[in-house]
Amino acid sequence: MLSDYPFHFFGRSITITEHAQFLALVFAAVAVTTWVILQSWRRRAVVLHRSAVSDQMVYELSRIADALDRLASRPMDQTMAAPTGSFKEDEPRTMPFSMFGRER
């Protein structure tokens, strides 16, 4: 199959063994396989072009970001303000509508 190959380079003799040839072939096969996989992944990339929907999404996300920024920059005493109504502990807690749309 593979055999030793003497290589002469600038008056020196380098012998490439069967094991070294096999490792070079394995390395080349792995490199080619990796390149093919990366090329196939690149073709599947989706590029979004500017549209009315993407513009609306950017607008809504910027509104959310601005609101969160305003909440984050508030002083802590305004954020954790006491509720205006008093809560009685002896009143039963009920949820007016459950997840399924009926009262508990």
**Structural domains of the chain, count:** 1
CA distance 73 to 61: 18
Mean pLDDT to the nearest integer, 41-47: 66
49 compared with 98, residue with greater pLDDT: 49
Q: Is residue 55 included in any domain, yes or no? A: no
- So what's the pLDDT on residue 24? 93
The domain containing residue 33 runs over which residues? 5-43
- Residue 90 φ/ψ, nearest 5 degrees: -85, -10
Q: Is residue 79 included in any domain, yes or no? A: no
93 compared with 51, residue with greater pLDDT: 51
Model confidence pLDDT, tens digit, residues 68-91:
998 888 877 665 655 555 556 666
- So what's the pLDDT on residue 13? 82
Say whether pLDDT at 100 is over 60.
Answer: no
Q: Is residue 26 included in any domain, yes or no? A: yes
- CB neighbour class for 21 (10 Å; exposed up to 12, middle 13-18, buried from 19): middle
Structure tokens that stand for 83 in this block = 């509720």
Q: Is residue 12 included in any domain, yes or no? A: yes
Mean pLDDT to the nearest integer, 18-32: 93
CA-angle at 63, arms to 56 and 70, nearest 5°: 175
Q: Is residue 80 included in any domain, yes or no? A: no
DSSP state of 45: -
- So what's the pLDDT on residue 14? 80
